[in-house]
Amino acid sequence: MLRLFAACLVAGAVSLAPVQAQTLRFGLMEDPDALDPSLARTFTSRMVFAALCDKLVDIGPDLKPVPQLATSWSLSPDEKALTMILRPGVLFHDGEKLDAAAAKYSIERHLKLPGSQRRGEIAPIDRVEVVDDLTFRIVLKTPFAPLLAQFTDRAGMMVSPKAAERLGDKFSTAPVCAGPFKFVERVPQDRIVVERFDEYWNKDQIHIKRIEFRPIPDGTVRLTNLRAGQLDLLERLTPTDLPQVTRDPKLKVGSTYELGFQSIVFNANRAGSAVADPRVRAAFDLAIDRTALNQVVFGGEFLPGNQWVSPKHPAYVKEYPLPKRDIAKAKALLAEAGIPKPSVTLTVYANNEAPQVGQVIQAMTREAGFDVKLQATDFTTALDAADKGNFDAYLYSWSGRPDPDGNTFSFLACKTPLNYARYCDPEADAALAAERATVDPAQRAVAWKHLADKVMADRPLIYLFHRKLFWAYSTKLSGFTPYPDGLVRFGGLTLN
Amino acid sequence: MLRFLVQRLALAIPTLVIASMIIFVLQQLLPGDTATALSGEERDPEVIAFIRQKYHLDQPLPVRYALWAGGVLQGDLGESIRLQKPVIDLVVEKLPVTLELACLAMLVALVIGVPMGILSAVKRRQAADTIANGIALWGLSVPNFWLGILMILLFSVHLGWLPASGYVSPFVSLSENLRAMVMPAFVLGNAIAAVMMRHTRAAMLGVLGSDYVRTARAKGVSPLRLILRHALPNAAIPIITLGALEFGQLLSGAVLTEQVFSVPGFGKLMVDAVFNRDYATVQGVVICTATTYVLLNLGADLLAAFVNPKLRRA
């Protein structure tokens, strides 16, 4: 046994993997789900798609749309038709040409594939028309301002029609797209391997030969692997691990604020629950010190917020700045509501951070008279309770979308799937319809203000803060730029 | 011997059927449903309805069990809803990894535990006994997760001798495979070595005090022969039984070690499947683990009967 052990150690010392110099090893927080842009639903699968599947449009670091597979686009005056022109000479990984017919096929597949997660995102599309070899027109049932933003994500990913037809609903086993890397293999829970696509339209920007995506759910283990040289890059470093990384001369950190939000959803229609009274929800809101919460739990690294977009976002409604904590007012509101000591159960995920956030909120609201009970559960259980309305308050995270519509419509419009608060208000619905009806920034700003007028008063949910996404990577890696959608752009990355 | 074997096999079948039924029903008690868990952030009602229908989640429980059992009889364990891959493929992919890890861990446990147990029994109440007991206590009390992280920090981060994670198939590179498995096998085997040591010690003490050993000693049998030829075969029966049970546990209980060293085995598969309410995968993994467990117990009984012929007639 000892000899075997010694032999292994010697073998290890000799073969410390120089062959991997051109392979980027990327540590993911979870194993992605199905690698089919129409069916995929997790944030982590988007990390892999960034290598495999280019989109019609990308977003720049400033959140503005930039050309990717489509080089230009124009909206008709009535905003009901979007005409896009494709980049010439783009090939899918199987050698098939990306033309207008292929784009039409991909968009229709997103709309029609049974179980497609994209259908809801681009539901206002009526039909797609091929204009010429590289031009296609998307005709909408009604104007839909977030359409272009939807094409910066999975709904804008183009798949090879030939491969999609051949593989059907098994497309995820060997995805064929038009991204910088092609699929090689996947061993569930171990690795996903992709390899540089030599006929990629922008191949001069791709300096890495292979990428190995390795799911390592535990944050400590992920970081240890980076420190041991088993990984070159990892996503979602926990803020508490930051000092370890900054102290290490062989590691670097990249960060950006998320597009999403962290919030508390109130079950505003629950009979017998204290939170059914809007004054109680207002008191709860006033009892929270967002800046202190951020300081205590996240070392001040996150961004306190009070709206569906962060205070740094162009669509932030400036008339409603971050509220200050006001215990006296909170107590007065509770007295007015006739519930001086409301009891509220707060459902949180049993992960590393959410229970801590819950505890701080519990302590803060206690000073106003609240008796908050924490209920920590796994993700699916919490979701089930939210779906069935078996909760008072629910600490809820949303990963965010580039267009603010993606952070509001499904949560606040009447009878939408993520509206766990069961909020239904005609004025809020009108504001949401108005923001969808035009791409004009000035008119949309008015709509956002109207929505804020209602939501800030009714508080079906209160927004608490916006996370910062951290990446840690080896100093061997250069050219890394954080993007607000939390995804890595592999173009321009170099491994030395 | 054949009758013994047939009897044992006949008992194994109802055991497996009952195990599969229990796990099928227990899973339904988990709060939350698969379709909602897998419908993505958007929770599109059409997607939820599609998943329900495709995976028969809209059918009553007995119908679903019958559909599943019918598939199993034809070698089809269903499809993982999350990974969209046949469960049998996942099992075939993961089982060898976990089996290898379990075998290596058992090897570590045997190599450390049995000699230490013998030494401790022979040198009862001497310094060697105290030291061996101390080591066993340490092995039992050290959490796997913590020991794993410490070993990674020492051997991977500081010394750079061993990979911190990952798995390479022995058919690709045996040396890389062993390098990747040394630490997880040690961590996993460590705790079992302690249990082995305690059981070996107790069994050996019992045998060493018996009349036939005293007689053998009086007849002038050498101490080494006395231990290896006369005492150990009798003491081995409880050790074999324990080994089989521990091995069975290793198949399903290596979750933490697999997480720390990112070994893509059964444990990780199971944990992910439970959290995602991926019923077909949970069910498939459980039935395979149960089958292996039953076979191991059968193997242990046969081995015990082989070592001690009296048991064949029992």
B 252-271 residues inside an 8 A Cβ radius of A: 259-260, 262, 264, 268-269
Q: Which of A121, A224, A248 to mutate to test the interface with B (most CBs of B within 10 A)?
A: A224
Max avg pLDDT among A270-274, B18-22, B185-189, B258-262: B185-189
Higher pLDDT, A62 or A315: A315
Residue bearing tokens 């979602």:
A236
The DSSP code sequence of A147-193 is HHHHTTTGGGB-B-HHHHHHHGGGGGGS--BSSSEEEEEEETTTEEE
What average pLDDT score do residues A293-315 get?
93
Chain A: residue whose CA lies nearest to B79: A170
**pLDDT tens figures, A386-419:** 888 889 999 999 989 989 999 999 899 998 878 9
A 2-61 residues inside an 8 A Cβ radius of B: 4-5, 7-9, 11-13, 15-16, 31, 33-34, 39, 41-42
The model's confidence at residue A76, banded by pLDDT at 50, 70 and 90, is very high
Which residues on chain B are in Cβ contact (under 8 Å) with A387? 36, 43
Token pair of B269 as six digits: 């598969």
CB-CB: which of A188, A221, A377 is closest to B260?
A: A221
| Weakest-pLDDT range from A90-94, A244-248, A450-454 | A244-248
The model's confidence at residue A3, banded by pLDDT at 50, 70 and 90, is very low
CB-CB: which of A4, A42, A384 is closest to B33?
A: A384
CA distance A202 to chain B (A): 31
Q: What pLDDT does residue A475 have? A: 95
The C-alpha atoms of residue B177 and residue A409 are separated, in whole angstroms, by 51
| Extended strands (E) in chain B | 79-80, 85-86
**8 Å CB contact between B186 and B172:** no
**8 Å CB contact between A372 and A362:** yes
C-alpha radius of gyration, chain A, whole number: 24
- Record: contact B44-A417, CB cut-off 8 A: yes
What average pLDDT score do residues B222-230 get?
81
**8 Å CB contact between B181 and B102:** no
The C-alpha atoms of residue B8 and residue B294 are separated, in whole angstroms, by 9
What average pLDDT score do residues A313-324 get?
94
Contacts of A479 (CB under 8 A, 6+ apart): A207, A492, A493, A494
Higher pLDDT, B240 or A251: A251
What average pLDDT score do residues A161-183 get?
94
**8 Å CB contact between B253 and B98:** no
Q: What pLDDT does residue A287 have? A: 96
In this predicted structure, the answer to whether residue A20 has a pLDDT above a threshold of 80 is: no
The model's confidence at residue A19, banded by pLDDT at 50, 70 and 90, is very low
State how beta strands A477-478 and A494-495 pair: antiparallel
State how beta strands A261-266 and A70-75 pair: unpaired
A 336-395 residues inside an 8 A Cβ radius of B: 377-381, 383-385, 387
The C-alpha atoms of residue B186 and residue A402 are separated, in whole angstroms, by 48
CB-CB: which of B33, B161, B164 is closest to A13?
A: B161
Mean pLDDT of chain B: 84
Which residues on chain B are in Cβ contact (under 8 Å) with A153? none
Higher pLDDT, B94 or B32: B94
Token pair of A493 as six digits: 């990355």
A 288-317 residues inside an 8 A Cβ radius of B: none
Mean pLDDT of chain A: 90
In this predicted structure, the answer to whether residue A18 has a pLDDT above a threshold of 70 is: no
Percent of chain B clearing pLDDT 90 (strictly above): 7
- For residue B158, with 0-12 CB atoms within 10 Å meaning exposed, 13-18 middle and 19 or more buried, which class applies? exposed
Percent of chain A clearing pLDDT 70 (strictly above): 96
Q: What pLDDT does residue A291 have? A: 95
Dihedral of alpha carbons A281, A282, A288, A294, sign: positive
Strand-by-strand arrangement of the A81-86 sheet: A70-75, A81-86, A135-140, A125-130
**pLDDT tens figures, B139-181:** 888 888 889 889 998 998 888 898 888 788 888 889 989 999 9
In this predicted structure, the answer to whether residue A335 has a pLDDT above a threshold of 70 is: yes
In this predicted structure, the answer to whether residue B14 has a pLDDT above a threshold of 80 is: yes
CA distance A462 to chain B (A): 19
Q: What pLDDT does residue B203 have? A: 87
The C-alpha atoms of residue A487 and residue A53 are separated, in whole angstroms, by 13
Dihedral of alpha carbons A35, A40, A42, A46, sign: positive
C-alpha radius of gyration, chain B, whole number: 24
Q: Which of B138, B144, B175, B159 is nearest to B250 (CA)?
A: B144
The model's confidence at residue A81, banded by pLDDT at 50, 70 and 90, is very high
In this predicted structure, the answer to whether residue B294 has a pLDDT above a threshold of 90 is: no
What average pLDDT score do residues B100-124 get?
89
- Record: contact B153-A224, CB cut-off 8 A: yes
- Record: contact A190-B44, CB cut-off 8 A: no
> Kind and range of the H or E element at A271?
none
The C-alpha atoms of residue A410 and residue A401 are separated, in whole angstroms, by 12
Which residues on chain A are in Cβ contact (under 8 Å) with B39? 41, 117
The model's confidence at residue B253, banded by pLDDT at 50, 70 and 90, is low
- Please provide the size of chain A in residues: 496
The model's confidence at residue A142, banded by pLDDT at 50, 70 and 90, is very high
Token pair of A294 as six digits: 């951020």
The C-alpha atoms of residue A330 and residue A409 are separated, in whole angstroms, by 29
CB-CB: which of B32, B165, B264 is closest to A381?
A: B32
Contacts of A135 (CB under 8 A, 6+ apart): A83, A84, A85, A86, A100
Angle, helices B266-275/B87-122, rounded to nearest 10 degrees: 120
Using CA atoms of A487, A488, A489, A495 in order, give the dihedral in degrees to the nearest 10. 180
Using DSSP's 3-state secondary structure scheme, residue A236 falls into coil
CA distance B21 to chain A (A): 23
**pLDDT tens figures, A451-480:** 999 999 999 999 999 999 999 999 999 999
Chain B: residue whose CA lies nearest to A120: B44
Higher pLDDT, A345 or B312: A345
Which residues on chain B are in Cβ contact (under 8 Å) with A380? 30-33, 36-37, 275-277
Which residues on chain A are in Cβ contact (under 8 Å) with B269? 188-189
**8 Å CB contact between A396 and B43:** no
B 33-52 residues inside an 8 A Cβ radius of A: 33, 36-47, 50-51
The model's confidence at residue A368, banded by pLDDT at 50, 70 and 90, is very high
In this predicted structure, the answer to whether residue A6 has a pLDDT above a threshold of 50 is: no
> Kind and range of the H or E element at B231?
none
What average pLDDT score do residues A123-152 get?
95
Backbone angles phi, psi at A477, to 5 degrees: -95, 130
Q: What pLDDT does residue B251 have? A: 74
In this predicted structure, the answer to whether residue B248 has a pLDDT above a threshold of 80 is: no
A 387-446 residues inside an 8 A Cβ radius of B: 387, 398-399, 410, 417-418
| Weakest-pLDDT range from A114-123, A162-171, A279-288 | A114-123
Backbone angles phi, psi at A138, to 5 degrees: -105, 120
> Kind and range of the H or E element at B13?
helix B2-29
- Record: contact A383-B107, CB cut-off 8 A: no
In this predicted structure, the answer to whether residue A336 has a pLDDT above a threshold of 50 is: yes
CB-CB: which of A16, A121, A230 is closest to B164?
A: A230
Higher pLDDT, A270 or B252: A270
In this predicted structure, the answer to whether residue A198 has a pLDDT above a threshold of 90 is: yes
Spell out the alpha helix ranges (H) of chain B. 2-29, 34-37, 45-54, 61-73, 87-122, 127-141, 144-151, 174-208, 211-218, 223-225, 232-253, 255-260, 266-275, 279-307
The DSSP code sequence of B243-258 is HHHHHHHHHHH-HHHH
Number of C-beta neighbours around residue A324 at 10 A? 10
CB-CB: which of B37, B176, B262 is closest to A216?
A: B262
In this predicted structure, the answer to whether residue A2 has a pLDDT above a threshold of 50 is: no
The model's confidence at residue B252, banded by pLDDT at 50, 70 and 90, is low
Residue bearing tokens 């310094």:
B127
Q: What pLDDT does residue B312 have? A: 61
| Weakest-pLDDT range from A201-210, B179-188, B208-217 | B208-217
**8 Å CB contact between A42 and A32:** yes
> Kind and range of the H or E element at B233?
helix B232-253
Q: What pLDDT does residue A232 have? A: 96
Q: Please write down the long-range contacts of A109-112, taking CB distance under 8 Å and 24 or more positions apart.
A: A109/A38, A109/A159, A109/A164, A110/A37, A110/A38, A110/A154, A110/A155
**pLDDT tens figures, B296-310:** 888 887 787 777 766
Q: What pLDDT does residue A69 have? A: 97
CB-CB: which of B164, B167, B272 is closest to A228?
A: B164
Q: What pLDDT does residue A176 have? A: 97
Residue B37 CA neighbour count, 13 Å, CB half: 22
CA distance B32 to chain A (A): 5
The C-alpha atoms of residue B153 and residue A228 are separated, in whole angstroms, by 8
